[in-house]
Amino acid sequence: MSNTTSTSGQTLVGAGVGIVGAVMAWGATFISSDAGYAGVGPNALPWLVSVVLMVCGAWLVWEARSGGYREMEEPSGAARGDWRAVAWVVAGIVANASLITTIGFILSCALCFALAVRGLRVAEGGAGGGPKRSLIDFLTGVAIAAPVFWMFTKLLAINLPGLTASGWL
């Protein structure tokens, strides 16, 4: 790849980061700024993240336009993306988003975890895993998601979709 093509791509990455920050800043204008605990409103974190993204985007553009990313190591990994692995991870995210209100937070997050782990195994060049491995991955996902669910719903009183009305699943 030529240096001109490389710096053009790098400039686009920096501009993209800056645009994401600007879109987040625009979205933050729609969030209430009423001060909460310690005088910090709910829009404080979105504003902070958007400003940091815009600063990083400007810095990346400056780096790209002033000679490209210096001292950048050669990329590791395969020359092409592993689309099968990406498909597993995307399937996990889509399944989580589409099933969370139907089967609840814990089960949808566990399914997302199991599918994403399968994708990561495929990306490493290994087999995705059989039924036993998939069950272990799903149960590991439950072991991670359940305490998170309980912490948010029981300790922080934040409503997350559950499977039952009891609030424990």
* Structure confidence by residue, pLDDT tens digits, 146-160: 999 988 888 877 777
What's the mean pLDDT when you consider all of the chain? 85
**Res. 126: pLDDT tops 70:** yes
- 107 and 45 within one domain: no
Q: Give the pLDDT confidence score for residue 1 in this predicted structure.
A: 47
Domain count, the chain: 2
- The whole domain housing 10 covers 3-65
- 143 and 102 within one domain: yes
- 132 and 94 within one domain: yes
**Res. 20: pLDDT tops 90:** yes
CB 35 within 8 A of CB 4: no
Give this prediction's pTM: 0.58
Residues sharing a CB contact under 8 Å with residue 41, sequence separation 6 or more, in sequence order: 31, 32, 33, 34, 35
Nearest to 110 by CA among 135, 87, 130, 85: 135
- 96 and 48 within one domain: no
Which of left, alpha, beta for 89 (phi over 0: left; psi -120 to 50: alpha)?
Answer: alpha
